[in-house]
Amino acid sequence: MKSFANLLRTTSTSCLAVALLMAVFNFAAAPMLNAQTQMNIVLVPTPAPPGDAPADAGPLATGLSPKITRANLAKEMKLVADWQLARLPEKAQYDWTFAALYTGMMAVPPQVAGDKYRNAMQNIADKLNWQPGPRVQLADDQAVGQMYLEQYMLHSDPKMLASIRARIDAQMAMPDSPKKPLWWWCDALFMEPPVLADLAAITHDDKYWNFMDHEWDITTKLLYNNDDHLYFRDATFLNSHEKNGARLFWSRGNGWVMAGIVRVLDRMPADSPLRPKYILLLQQMATSVAKIQGADGLWRPGLLNADAYPLPEVSGSAFITYALAYGVNHHMLPAKTYTPVIRKAWAGMLTHVYADGRLGSIQPVGAAPAPLSATSSYVYGVGAYLLAGSELYSTAK
């Protein structure tokens, strides 16, 4: 019975499956489970599918221009955002896949579609009762807090702040595990640090900056390679190599990190002693990814063995583009060097937009470089595309 409790605590299980298991094991009345064990069990509902890859997605879009103007960007963002918004599941989702989409929707400037996307996000948050996911020490379950806190910055409604602040405070009260870092995989550097940065900006309490920086350092010491200036996905990849002998670095994983860096920097005070470290990290990673940009403007799933991957990976490419554009716009990266990289990347992404607004060539949920199809579209990739487009829009004419 103890092993059964552990299984429930660590495995995502649908409500139906949980009900069946409880019936089989007579869980509710089992005297072998003491009160503390029952309290520690976290039931995690199965999230809605975050995307698909149909055999035929119809024709690609025509009439999209790679010229960076506000009019073009508005058209290109609205086409994709409207397609995705119409396909959201009826039941609101807090899962990290959707949380990444929400950040992109929140970023779209009001000039593009008024308050349409922000209002849609507020409606989702209302349905979720402004609650994070159920797992206190999992960054994925805090990622939705980015949308909540951006809504709070717009509306100053206490309900938008209370739950995510209480969750982070509870997490901060827990000691670090010497066996496993809190953010043990690089994706986590997008999921939770921006939440801490938002809380710091809202509350003016440096404890959130201190905690964020402490945990980021732990992850960086474990996963950042100082030769390639890229992050391994997690510790299981430290000795992994591509077939060409190069180290295995995942494009989306490094895109998550770069996007996380700029979202943290965006909230960080100009006089913060932490800024130079994060700016340097952005500069190092930017140098690395710019050197390996594909001829089509995009990056392959495995960064250091492009020839092994026939298709580009749009979600990682979009996160990278977003970070590079932010770096140029905020004078952290030289425009002369990176503007051509950014323009080429945006032009490349547009070639994967379908006539109905589907954004393709997005790797499905995973933890490493993997095959994908041209029609493959997932919500986090759309979020990344909207973040990139919005950042470009902010300085376009």
Between CA 325 and CA 300 the distance in angstroms is 19
Contacts of 18 (CB under 8 A, 6+ apart): 8, 43
The residue annotated as part of the active site, out of 187, 198, 213, 228, is 187
Rounded Cα distance between 392 and 329, Å, is 9
187 labelled catalytic: yes
Q: Is 264 helix (H, G, I), strand (E, B) or coil?
A: helix
Q: Is 59 helix (H, G, I), strand (E, B) or coil?
A: coil
- The two beta strands, 230-231 and 224-225, are antiparallel
16: its two tokens: 């139906």
Locate 214 and state its tokens. 């402490």
Answer whether 154's CB lies under 8 Å from 110's CB: no
- Let me know: does 346 contact 318? Beta carbons within 8 Å: no
When computed from its CA atoms, the radius of gyration of the chain, rounded to whole angstroms, is: 21
Collapse the DSSP code of 378 into the 3-class scheme (helix H, G, I; strand E, B; otherwise coil) and give the result: strand
Residue labelled with tokens 């470009």: 392
Can you tell me the distance from the alpha carbon of 63 to that of 69, in angstroms, rounded to the nearest whole number? Answer: 14
Q: State the sign of the Cα–Cα–Cα–Cα dihedral 263, 266, 267, 271.
A: positive
Residues 6+ apart with CB under 8 A from 46: 12, 13, 14, 15
* CA distance linking residue 348 with residue 103, whole number of Å: 22
Residue 185 has φ and ψ, to the nearest 5°, of: -125, 150
Reference 134, options 195, 35, 47, 21; nearest CA is 47
Query: Sign of the CA dihedral 12, 16, 20, 22?
Result: positive
Catalytic residue annotation: 187
